[in-house]
Amino acid sequence: MVLSIKKTVCVALAIIAGAMSVSYAVNPIKLDTIRTQLVVPRPALEPVKSLTKSPSDPIDTLDTANEHIKVVLHADNTWRYYKTPGFQQVTGVFDEYWNETQSNPYGIEQKDLPEQWSIWLVDSLDQYHCPFQGTIHPRGKFGVRRGRRHQGVDIPLKTGDPIYATFTGKVRMSKYLGAYGNIIIIRHDNGIETFYAHLSKRNVEVGDWVNAGDVIGLGGSTGRSTGPHLHFETRYKGFTFDPQWLIDFENGLLRHRLFVLKKKYFNIYSNYEQDFEDEMKNEEDDKKEDAEREAMRWYTIKSGDTLGRIAINNGTTVSELCRLNGISKTTTLKIGRKIRVR
């Protein structure tokens, strides 16, 4: 017992020491400030597994410099950060365009958004949990289905299966909504909203603060549905994009810690599987072009130069010089101009 207490004290002291090494701005602390100071950056492309709930009970909490962020100590000597419901008061994300009845309360036009921007999905404060791990139905992918927009993904399940909050956030909607059936919408402090539809039961109400991994409802087949499944959407500023950009549902993994959201993803014909292949090809083409550009060599024409002399001095031929520069053998060479020799 004494040994266990000593271990707990050591863990607490280590956490406090770590916390003391982080400098904080004076209250109120803005979200960006909190993220800058508490984030422990990791490779953006490293997949993130679902949060594993600690098997042991919490035994104590420690304060941090921010009154809305606590450190929870568990009996097995593990610890994690915990954001209290008051955390939502330090960011305006939960104030702007807040509406508890409309699925899309934003009045923003796409032209007003940048072409791309970076969004932190997880860090030392925010964790992740797959909403429901499974295989997306072949006809339940993001895109156009039977002439209509299908703005999310459909994952078959059994009625009563638990549905988890993907990230920490505040419940903006919890109601029965037409074709969606029982739906829960959670807004997260990075601005992303997640939609969970066709539920058989809703465990949370509007205004509730939930943490990643909390069971927010049970799977079902309410609304316009042909069988039990989870319809899951991701939106930013009211615009939908393929959730597969974020989550590998089959393996339950989050694809990125830092996600680069591009405006083109809001196009209903833009989906992860197709665009990912295109982007990989574009990346390969870019690398090829960069390599070719790196290999380019230029020569500045001097008095007395001829194409023949330039070709011999640079280990090439007159024909190749003409091809590279779009000129002919009779083109007049102007002193001071650059000519590509490779």
What sign has the CA pseudo-torsion 245, 250, 254, 256?
A: negative
Domain 298-340 in the same topology as domain 120-280:
no
| pLDDT per 10-residue tile (average), the chain, 342 residues | 48 46 33 37 51 64 74 74 61 82 88 88 82 93 86 95 94 95 94 96 95 94 92 96 95 91 90 62 59 78 88 89 82 85 82
Reported as a single tens digit per residue, the pLDDT across 99-108 is 898 989 988 8
Instruction: Provide the mean pLDDT of the chain.
Output: 79
Please report the pLDDT score of residue 274 as a whole number.
Answer: 66
Q: Are 64 and 226 in contact (CB under 8 A)?
A: no
Domain boundaries, the chain: 2-38+53-113, 120-280, 298-340
pTM for the structure as a whole? 0.64
Both tokens of residue 216?
């927010």
Please report the pLDDT score of residue 19 as a whole number.
Answer: 42
Domain 120-280 class, CATH top level: mainly beta
CA distances from 64 to 249, 261, 297 (A): 35, 32, 58
Residues recorded for the chain: 342
In our burial notation (b when 16+ CB lie closer than 10 A, e otherwise), range 30-62 reads ebeebbeebbeeeeeeeebebbeeeeeeeeeee
Please report the pLDDT score of residue 31 as a whole number.
Answer: 38
> Regarding the domain with residue range 298-340, which homologous superfamily does it belong to in the CATH classification?
LysM domain (3.10.350.10)
Please report the pLDDT score of residue 21 as a whole number.
Answer: 36
Please report the pLDDT score of residue 196 as a whole number.
Answer: 98
Please report the pLDDT score of residue 26 as a whole number.
Answer: 31
